[in-house]
Amino acid sequence: RDQRGQAASYDAVEEVKLALWKALLGMRPDEGSDIVIYAGGQLLDMDRGRLYYQFDFTCDREITEDMTRQQEELDALDTFTGMDINIDYIDPGDGPDGNTEHHTQINLSE
């Protein structure tokens, strides 16, 4: 008898493996791209209601910062030269009231 549900979990993992295999077989990488290879997987944890399984993939391509969306967004930002800070004190009083009690400015270009 399978009280822990291991057989059902095994079947679910096998179904996902099959779907991944089909996706990788049908993959058509763009020119200049490398193929993603399924490298196996491992059971991370399991309880009565959940199974955590890690699928591992490899690719010969090295991804550098210059290739990322985040780097493009960072490159588009202006140079950080300073900041203005408005402070609305909580104490003394009944909490923030929307009035700026203190202002400070920090210039990094000096």
| pLDDT tens-digit map of 27-36 | 776 776 677 7
Q: Which of 41, 2, 6 is nearest to 21 (CA)?
A: 41
Q: Which of 49, 46, 29 is nearest to 37 (CA)?
A: 29
Q: For residue 103, what are its two tokens?
A: 């202002």
SS3 of 47, please? coil
Residue 1: per-residue pLDDT: 53
pLDDT in tens, 61-106: 777 887 778 888 888 999 999 999 999 888 777 778 888 889 999 9
Residue 4: per-residue pLDDT: 60
Mean pLDDT of 1-11: 65
Residue 12: per-residue pLDDT: 82
